[in-house]
Amino acid sequence: MKVLLRGVHLDLSDALRAYVDEHLVSHIERFADDEAAEIDISLVDTNGPKGGVDKECRVTVRLPGLSAVHVTETADSLFPAIDASRDRLEKTLKRTLEKRRDAHTAGLPQDTGADVPTY
């Protein structure tokens, strides 16, 4: 999986990179074991040093054969925004992959041996 990480209006420290890798990328990698898969992460400080609830984690996941999944979460610091993004991405990817599986097998288990219509 190709990982693109960028900071917009903020510097990415080694600790922040490690946190993103451990708490976001490692959880999403289980959905995409393909080299063509890509996760694009943008960590943004919208107000700059003014403070407030202005830290965003924007994540776009592109998996082969599926449309891109995009999630944006805002919080008062980056760490909760990263965690919230991970949770939403996991739910969305599970739902997307389940819909794809249901459409492919017409809702039948794969081992039934029944004739499955092709779409």
Tens digit of each residue's pLDDT (9 = 90 or more) over 18-70: 999 999 999 998 887 778 899 999 999 988 777 777 899 999 999 888 889 99
Tens digit of each residue's pLDDT (9 = 90 or more) over 4-15: 999 998 899 999
Alpha-carbon span 8 to 48, nearest angstrom: 10
Given pLDDT bands bounded at 50, 70 and 90, which one contains residue 105? Answer: low
Total residue length of the chain: 119
Query: At residue 108, does pLDDT exceed 60?
Result: no
pLDDT at position 65: 83
Strands of 55-62's sheet in order across: 2-8, 38-45, 55-62, 69-75
φ and ψ of 23, to 5 deg: -95, -15
CA atoms within 13 A on the CB side of 14: 0
Query: What's the Cα-to-Cα distance from 55 to each of 8, 52, 71, 73, 107, rounded to whole Å?
Result: 10, 8, 14, 8, 41
